[in-house]
A = this chain, B = another copy of it.
């Protein structure tokens, strides 16, 4: 679907690749790329394209109504569960061994087949735990 490489597209993808461990809403990206004057509809259209292309992943953030997106640059992103800090918004990766263990145990014990890609656990990260 994506045929041309436009300036706007490059800037949006570049933004994600330079912030690989955080999640962002369309509005946040719009604001942070303010000096590029990219229209909000272009942001939305590109986020959808990038999502379809598998370069970013759509996810929810507890207590918000907006869609959030995170960069999926790493192979590991596809093979482990994500942890999202409610305070700073950063994304962490659960240890692969533990992810796998959880998934297989849940399949066995509960007959439930977790899909890592869509699954985000919420909580507070070590950093934010310290500062009140």
Given the known inter-chain contacts A65-B67, A81-B121, please indicate yes or no for A105 contacting B115, CB distance below 8 A: no
Q: How many copies does the complex hold?
A: 2
Residue pair B112, A83 in contact (C-beta under 8 Å): yes
Task: Report the interface size class on chain A.
Answer: 20 to 34
Set of chain B residues within 8 Å of A63, measured between Cβ atoms: 58, 118
Separation of A122 and B86 alpha carbons in the complex (Å): 19
Q: Is the CB of B115 within 8 A of A106?
A: no
> Do A110 and B83 have beta carbons less than 8 Å apart?
yes
Q: List 11 A-B contacts (CB under 8 A).
A: A65-B67, A83-B110, A86-B115, A86-B118, A95-B110, A102-B102, A112-B123, A112-B124, A114-B121, A115-B122, A118-B122
